[in-house]
Amino acid sequence: MGKLDEKAVLELRAKVRGDLLRPGEGTIYEEARKVYNGMIDRRPAIIVRCVDVADVMAAVNFGRDQKLAVAVRGGGHSGPGWGIVDDGLVVDLSRMRGVRVDPEARTVRVEGGAKWGDVDHATHPFGMATPSGFISSTGVGGLTLGGGIGYLSRTYGLSLDNLVSVDMVLADGRFVTANAKDNKDLFWAVRGGGGNFGVVTSFEYKLHPVSQVYGGPMIWPLEKSGEVLKWWRDYILKAPEDINGWFAFLNVPPAAPFPEAYQGKKAVGIVWCYTGPMEKAEERFKPIRAQAPAIDFVGPVPWPALQSMFDALYPPGLQWYWKADFFKELSDKAVDLHVKYGSQLPSFHSTMHIYPINGAAHRPAPADTAFSFRDANFAEVIVGVDPDPANNPKLTEWAKNYWLALHPHSAGGAYVNMIMDEGEDMVKSAYRDNYKRLTEVKAKYDPNNLFRQNQNIKPAK
Ligand SMILES: Cc1cc2nc3c(=O)[nH]c(=O)nc-3n(C[C@H](O)[C@H](O)[C@H](O)COP(=O)(O)OP(=O)(O)OC[C@H]3O[C@@H](n4cnc5c(N)ncnc54)[C@H](O)[C@@H]3O)c2cc1C
């Protein structure tokens, strides 16, 4: 590790109100360098735990002037561990989690290091929510900047479709606001282009009337996997936009309230979320229940409870390896392949999800935001997860083989938030026709590629 300029560090210390953490300076550094994926073990030269925009400016200026590799950490959930970097500087936003609701305007302003649970906690008392994901421990930052696929995608679009404005610190240390009026090119690029363009210190989102929903998991035995997947595929392509359900191969948790006959067994599930009128929910679920799920935990549930239902199953520190693709259709042949590989989940935590991204998420055209796959109907993610690092080869091999088998049926690109560090071609295929414009915006706002700990978009020459 190269030595830091101690005089510059002293000056930085005087400038920031947050914490400066360095190797050998106590246990907080050791905690702060951990990210969600237990496979990632990196030792930054310095972590700046920012508390406000001024801290972020000071940290970015320091990293750039000292020629350090710079990582920006939001919720720390990225699979490849983009939020942390060996020998470099981490702009750590984990102390910037403030959320302010404007109930009149139906908007919420969220600091860049917040997690979705912070947002739900703040908006739920107002009976409102904004589209997020399927778990509450994920960071608002990375999830939104890459897309944001969740329970409300079919109803209100991706998280990034609900962005009204962002406040950012750029590579040159300047503070800017980007929205439909100001810095339009930047606003276009951050809606899908990830953390490539600067540090977002706060996000402003539209809110929607979502409070009590009708949702939860339904589970079927593995033998019914092909039949259920085909039914779900046909149903969700035509379903009204106020209903969402994602499909999974999973292991049934070995505990109550799951029936003993299914505990620890491989199975398939659909996790539902209906946001229409509650008095119509039972009626709306009749055709779904006609598929005779073996386990049915679907019912009225407060939105934050649905959002956090799986948090405890996936605590931080597990080993994660994932592969992804978008699909326009799921042919019967593709379903057969899913049945083959989904039946081989290599560990209890491993899973495969298919999220619907039709409905409201289809409304923008592919070039309206950097997120390009508006013509895809499904986002697949194959997730090898286990607590024991010794099982990593098994997880990785399964995920790669599964992906390779399905990839020929895919739309040709993947969701940037659900891939590992898989190289430039993978990034290009995720953005398709939008890639060139992204490189131009990158050249304007980050010409020296300071922000490159991400699914990197190289600045145009
Ligand atoms: C358990 C789990 C569940 C998930 N569920 C979903 C889901 O339901 N839907 C979905 O769409 N995705 C989901 N994801 C994927 C998730 O969107 C990505 O992992 C995302 O990158 C996480 O963002 P983060 O801020 O937590 O991560 P980080 O690792 O902190 O950051 C990820 C990337 O975003 C950048 N970044 C983060 N915050 C900022 C900021 N404020 N300004 C600039 N750059 C920033 C970082 O530099 C990095 O490049 C899930 C991931 C996990 C591990």
The owner of tokens 């972590």 is 47
Atom of ligand 1 nearest to the CA of 36: 53
With a Cβ cut-off of 6 Å, ligand 1 is lined by: 36, 72-79, 82-83, 93, 112, 133-135, 138-139, 141-143, 145-150, 194-195, 199-200, 314, 417-418, 453-454
Dist CA 422 CA 407 (whole Å): 15
CB distance 218 to 297 below 8 Å: yes
CB distance 50 to 95 below 8 Å: yes
Atom 44 of ligand 1 has which residue's CA nearest to it?
A: 195
CA-closest candidate to residue 92, choices 78, 110, 111, 71: 71
* Bond from prior residue into 257 cis (ω within 30 degrees of 0): yes
- pLDDT, tens digit only, all 461 positions of the chain: 568 999 999 999 999 999 999 999 888 999 999 999 999 999 999 999 999 999 999 999 999 999 999 999 999 999 999 999 999 999 999 999 999 999 999 999 999 999 999 999 999 999 999 999 999 999 999 999 999 999 999 999 999 999 999 999 999 999 999 999 999 999 999 999 999 999 999 999 999 999 999 999 999 999 999 999 999 999 999 999 999 999 999 999 999 999 999 999 999 999 999 999 999 999 999 999 999 999 999 999 999 999 999 999 999 999 999 999 999 999 999 999 999 999 999 999 999 999 999 999 999 999 999 999 999 999 999 999 999 999 999 999 999 999 999 999 999 999 999 999 999 999 999 999 999 999 999 999 999 999 999 999 999 99
Characterise 67 by phi-psi region: left (phi > 0), alpha (psi -120 to 50), beta (else): left
Q: Reduce the DSSP state of residue 169 to 3 states and report it.
A: strand
For a ligand 1 pocket test, name from 77, 199, 382 the mutation site with the most ligand atoms within 8 angstroms of its C-beta.
77
Cα 26–Cα 31–Cα 32 angle in degrees, nearest 5 = 100
Non-local CB neighbours of 183 within 8 Å, separated by 6+ positions: 176, 177
The owner of tokens 């020459």 is 461
Question: How many CA atoms lie within 13 Å of 105's alpha carbon, on the beta-carbon side?
Answer: 10
Integer angstrom CA distances of residue 355 from 34, 74, 129: 28, 23, 19
pTM over 0.95: yes
- Å from CA of 80 to ligand 1 middle: 10
- Å from CA of 74 to ligand 1 middle: 7
- Å from CA of 414 to ligand 1 middle: 15
Atom of ligand 1 nearest to the CA of 203: 41
Dist CA 287 CA 213 (whole Å): 18
- Å from CA of 147 to ligand 1 middle: 9
Going along 261-418, which residue ranges are E strands? 266-274, 295-296, 299-302, 319-327, 351-356, 378-386
